[in-house]
Amino acid sequence: MPSLARSAAVVAAAGAGTFGYAAAIERNAFTLRRFDVPVLAPGATPIRVLHLSDLHITAHQRRKLAWISSLARLEPDLVVNTGDTLSGLDAAPAVLRSLAPLFAFPGVFVPGNNDYYAPRMKSPVHYFWPEGKKIYGSPMPWPQLASAMTARGWTDLTHVRTTLEAGGVRVALAGTDDPHLRRARYELIAGPAEPDAAVRIGVTHSPEPFMLAAFARDGYDVVLAGHTHGGQVRVPFGPAIVTNCGIERDRARWLHQWDERMWFHICAGLGTNPFAPVRFACRPEATLLTLTPRG
């Protein structure tokens, strides 16, 4: 075989092997991350927050649904779901079954863009030049799913400020609708965060810098978001290739400090768009955040 043809065959084989690994193995290698977030008053008892995002559930993902249910073993003080829960028009019953054990704990949620519209096939080029014309899929049954989760005890934080008890203390929370679809109206929740709460948590789907800055101005201690999938396909040991939002590629997942007071955590999420079922150098994940005293 001529050297050029041999090289092409090697490259093609390597590409096929990489795609096979990303599609069949890594996207199902569900992982629990753990981070400590120093945002509580000195001497305070730690608070354990389970952060879920981008579940992208379809009706027949038995392995993923079982793994989500198993997270109840962590016995978190609070569960936060930052959106893109749905990926199928018939997925709501599966969502409720998988989350059922977690409804035993206090929980809050906001919607993501894929909760409103069913996924569609699109060119990957869209992620590099996102300002083109947006084409939406069929409307998702998000209102019905949100009502069902509320009926089971979780709080819909869509443009809501509230306090609830978690870990034996008062936690202040505020959330927005999805910034990616330009539905977020921060002015509806604007104002200084609850000063007497043990911790103040902002919740939104897409970690747009303007949204993080707004929460920081109002005195929130930590903001939880998702949307990026951590890049979904990353340079090994390097940054995300794209983030699909305004956050920098090297902060597309995990815990980061926004300023001297506020932290933010981006969950890389558990799912993928059904039309791009691959992950590479970016495992699907949920995160257990332990809020600890500052300093």
Query: Taking the alpha carbons of 233, 238, 239, 242 in that order, is the dihedral positive or negative?
Result: negative
Amino acid at 105: F
Amino acid at 162: T
Alpha-carbon distance 137 to 285, whole Å? 26
Domain spans in the chain, listed from the N-terminal domain onward: 3-293
CA distance 109 to 4: 54
Task: Answer whether 0.85 is exceeded by the pTM.
Answer: yes
Per-residue model confidence (pLDDT) at position 119: 84
Tell me the per-residue pLDDT of 198-233, one tens digit each, with 9 for 90 and over. Answer: 999 999 999 999 999 999 999 999 999 999 999 999
Question: What is residue 52's three-state secondary structure?
Answer: strand
Q: Which two tokens stand for residue 213?
A: 């800055």
Choosing among 3.40.50.460, 3.60.21.10, 2.60.40.420, 3.40.47.10, the CATH entry for 3-293 is: 3.60.21.10
The span from the CA of 284 to the CA of 206, in Å, is: 17
Torsion of CA 119, 124, 130, 132, to 10 degrees: -80
* Partners of residue 150 on adjacent β-strands: none
Instruction: Report pLDDT digits (tens) over 29-61.
Output: 999 999 999 999 999 999 999 999 999 999 999
- Averaged pLDDT of the chain: 90
